[in-house]
């Protein structure tokens, strides 16, 4: 457990395994009196780069809740202990405390959410976002199908991420498409827009009309698959985290490229993101032996992504909206016959700052 300790006017943090002094300047930057911190925005009313580097502590007192410090420049500050320990946790406890739930084709009975009045500022929205971070997707029922309502929904959480496809895009079969999504063909599991930098974090798909027997939505948890790959085929996992491939998108107006691995890790080697779109990737020239291993690894992870073991299928009905993590999940669809009727969805993208900011706000609002 993290502790803040005071010894001879020096402040230390102690996490049980190590004990280190907290720099006086670090504490001085956090002076939080009315003349130093705007209460509404929580932004500083002073520029810490203008302070002397010779800041030191004249006197300090500590109790269970507060650290009170008198600095050598005459400033007095009273800082909450919990806020200091929170910063030393090195994690965003709001988001990272939500543990990812691994899932495969056996996933059953995941909660669907029901759109309602005042939904965007409700406890239900908090629960929706929490579920999203657990499973990587949520489905919301009864979303109005009025014109481009998906944009209003997205902007209620944060801000729509505009791309060359526009603020939103229509997903239905059309002549001379610039993407296979705009056909009636089956789409194997893939992540969207791996050729962008940065890749859009979250995709929303809103079903407006569906009068076809096919066109089922498919999802695969890239987190589950890559964790299984790491255990069963560690040499494949390793090379897919190391080799960076070129993803490219070309149409009449733009050429987009990004060079990244199929499995991206955080600094601590934990899961960060998957990219997978074999119709768009270009593997670099490497030694033959290394390429042999890479192609075996890519084939294996493709087999896993396309396996019945990991895939779930379901039909999005009119007024259903699916929000999915494009950095974690792969999505696709089964083929459908246009002669049966219309299948019309609208989609858009938002980024993590939208969902994270909304969730922090709702936790504060409901004191959760």
Q: Which two tokens stand for residue 23?
A: 């720099």
Domain with CATH 3.60.130.10 in the chain: 113-365
- Residues 2-25: pLDDT tens digits? 789 999 999 999 988 889 999 999
Kindly report the CATH number that applies to the domain delimited by 113-365.
3.60.130.10
Average pLDDT over residues 175-199: 80
- Residues 269-312: pLDDT tens digits? 999 999 999 999 999 999 999 999 999 999 999 999 999 999 99
Using omega within 30 degrees of 0 as the cis cutoff, is the peptide bond preceding 276 cis?
no
Average pLDDT over residues 81-91: 80
Distance (Å, whole) CA 222 – CA 305: 8
Q: What's phi and psi for 70, nearest 5 deg?
A: -110, 120
- Residues 112-122: pLDDT tens digits? 999 998 999 99
Distance (Å, whole) CA 256 – CA 141: 35
Q: Which two tokens stand for residue 108?
A: 């059953």
Distance (Å, whole) CA 93 – CA 86: 8
Band (195; pLDDT cuts 50, 70, 90):
very high
Angle subtended at Cα 138 by Cα 121 and Cα 184, rounded to the nearest 5 degrees: 125
Cβ-proximal residues to 274 (8 Å cutoff; 6+ apart), any chain: 191, 222, 223, 225, 226, 262, 263, 264, 327, 328, 330
Distance (Å, whole) CA 334 – CA 74: 69
The model's pTM: 0.86
pLDDT at 75 > cutoff 90? yes
Distance (Å, whole) CA 173 – CA 321: 19
Winning range, highest mean pLDDT, from 62-66, 232-236, 338-342? 232-236
Kindly report the CATH number that applies to the domain delimited by 3-90.
3.30.2020.30
pLDDT at 85 > cutoff 90? no
Domain with CATH 3.30.2020.30 in the chain: 3-90
Q: What is the mean pLDDT of the chain?
A: 93
């Amino acid at each position: 457990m993290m502790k803040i300790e005071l010894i001879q006017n020096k402040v230390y943090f102690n996490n049980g395994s190590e004990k280190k002094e907290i720099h006086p300047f670090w504490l001085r930057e956090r002076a939080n009196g009315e003349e130093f911190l705007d209460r509404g925005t929580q932004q500083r009313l002073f520029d810490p780069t203008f302070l002397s580097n010779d800041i030191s502590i004249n006197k300090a007192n500590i109790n269970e809740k507060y650290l009170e410090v008198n600095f050598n420049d005459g400033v007095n500050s009273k800082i909450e202990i919990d806020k200091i320990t929170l910063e030393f946790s090195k994690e965003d406890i709001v988001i990272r405390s939500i543990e990812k739930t691994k899932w495969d084709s056996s996933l059953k009975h995941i909660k669907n959410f029901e759109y309602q009045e005042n939904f965007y500022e409700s406890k239900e929205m908090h629960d929706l976002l929490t579920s999203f971070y657990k499973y990587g997707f949520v489905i919301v029922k009864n979303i109005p199908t009025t014109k481009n309502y998906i944009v209003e929904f997205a902007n209620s959480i944060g801000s729509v991420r505009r791309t060359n496809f526009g603020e939103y895009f229509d997903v239905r079969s059309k002549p001379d498409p610039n993407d296979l999504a705009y056909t009636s063909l089956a789409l194997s599991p893939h992540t969207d827009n791996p050729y962008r930098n940065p890749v859009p974090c979250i995709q929303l798909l809103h079903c407006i009309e569906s009068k076809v027997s096919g066109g089922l939505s498919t999802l695969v948890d890239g987190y589950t698959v890559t964790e299984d790959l790491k255990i069963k085929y560690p040499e494949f996992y390793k090379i897919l985290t190391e080799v960076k491939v070129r993803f490219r998108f070309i149409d009449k107006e733009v050429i987009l490229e990004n060079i990244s691995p199929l499995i991206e890790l955080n600094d601590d080697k934990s899961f960060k993101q998957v990219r997978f779109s074999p119709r768009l990737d270009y593997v670099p020239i490497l030694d033959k032996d290394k390429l042999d291993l890479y192609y075996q690894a890519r084939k294996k992870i493709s087999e896993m992504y396309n396996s019945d073991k990991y895939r779930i299928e379901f039909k999005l009905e009119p007024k259903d909206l699916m929000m999915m993590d494009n950095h974690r999940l792969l999505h696709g669809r089964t083929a459908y016959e246009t002669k049966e009727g219309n299948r019309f969805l609208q989609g858009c993208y938002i980024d993590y700052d939208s969902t994270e900011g909304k969730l922090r706000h709702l936790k504060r609002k409901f004191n959760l």
